[in-house]
């Protein structure tokens, strides 16, 4: 009967509303880092031919996830979409498909609400057409004042730190400084300013889907004081209640910076 078919959805909705009521807006993260993981496994578990099915399913989930964040007043989200390790470890045909999926996703997000889209990562190894489309979306949304969405593409935390140090050295040399001067100037704040995310706040919370419990070279510097939350669901299967549980868990934690 219809009421029995509707029952799971009704129960889910009631549970989601209950979770929302348990959230304290003053104890929500301002910046969430999301490690998007499990797309390929999602496709494999469904016996779908080719990992592209999983990547497309993950891309379809991202706008939905960002709306959940936006509606709770989260100010910034950084999505880990493609690592520097992926660029050397994935087959060329998979990368070509991924480049197109990510470019389409960026363009879609640029049309959503009043979101500001920014690419964080290195251009090395990325498809020129992908870079061109990312730049166009960045420029088109640069003045937007809504949710700030960072797309970590061609991103690696160790490479980011190395690039930051190289940038500091180049600037110092250009200004005619000496090695001794640089040693005196070098500080965590200076390095932070030269990261791909320079000028942006560090993530308060890093979430990873698929049950894996590791950072995989994501925001190594920025996550020094972040909280972490691991979700068993593969990313395309992520539900709003999974997200709300993460928010509830974060709100209950007593953050100890450096202790």
Instruction: Give 247-253 contacts, CB < 8 A, sequence gap 24+.
Output: 247/19, 247/23, 247/28, 247/29, 247/72, 248/19, 248/22, 248/23, 250/27, 250/28, 250/29, 250/204, 250/205, 251/23, 251/24, 251/27, 251/28, 253/227
What is the rounded distance in angstroms from the CA atom of residue 53 to the CA atom of residue 62? Answer: 15
The CA radius of gyration of the chain, in Å to the nearest whole number, is 20
Instruction: State which H helix or E strand residue 243 sits in.
Output: helix 240-252
Instruction: Give CA angle at 31 (167, 89), nearest 5°.
Output: 60
DSSP bridge partners of 117: 149
Catalytic residues: 37, 86
Question: How far is CA 179 from each of CA 162, 176, 183, 206, 240, rounded to the nearest angstrom?
Answer: 17, 10, 6, 36, 52
């Amino acid at each position: 009967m219809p009421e029995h078919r509707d029952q799971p959805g009704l129960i889910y909705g009631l549970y989601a509303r209950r979770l929302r009521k348990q959230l304290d807006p003053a104890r929500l993260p301002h910046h969430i880092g999301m490690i998007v993981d499990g797309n390929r496994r999602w496709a494999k578990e469904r016996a779908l031919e080719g990992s592209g099915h999983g990547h497309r399913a993950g891309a379809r989930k991202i706008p939905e996830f960002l709306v959940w964040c936006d509606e709770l007043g989260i100010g910034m989200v950084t999505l880990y979409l493609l690592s520097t390790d992926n660029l050397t470890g994935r087959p060329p045909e998979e990368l070509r498909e991924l480049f197109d999926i990510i470019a389409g996703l960026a363009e879609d997000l640029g049309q959503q609400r009043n979101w500001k889209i920014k690419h964080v990562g290195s251009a090395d190894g990325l498809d020129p057409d992908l870079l061109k489309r990312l730049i166009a979306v960045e420029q088109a949304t640069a003045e937007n004042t809504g949710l700030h969405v960072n797309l970590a593409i061609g991103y690696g935390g160790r490479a980011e730190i190395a690039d930051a140090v190289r940038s500091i050295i180049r600037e110092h040399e250009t200004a005619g400084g000496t090695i001794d001067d640089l040693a005196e100037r070098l500080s965590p704040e200076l390095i932070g300013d030269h990261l791909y995310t320079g000028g942006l706040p560090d993530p308060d919370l890093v979430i990873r889907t698929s049950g894996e419990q590791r950072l995989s070279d994501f925001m190594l510097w920025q996550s020094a004081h972040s909280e972490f939350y691991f979700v068993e669901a593969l990313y395309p299967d992520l539900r709003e209640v999974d997200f709300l549980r993460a928010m509830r868990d974060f709100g209950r934690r007593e953050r100890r910076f450096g202790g």
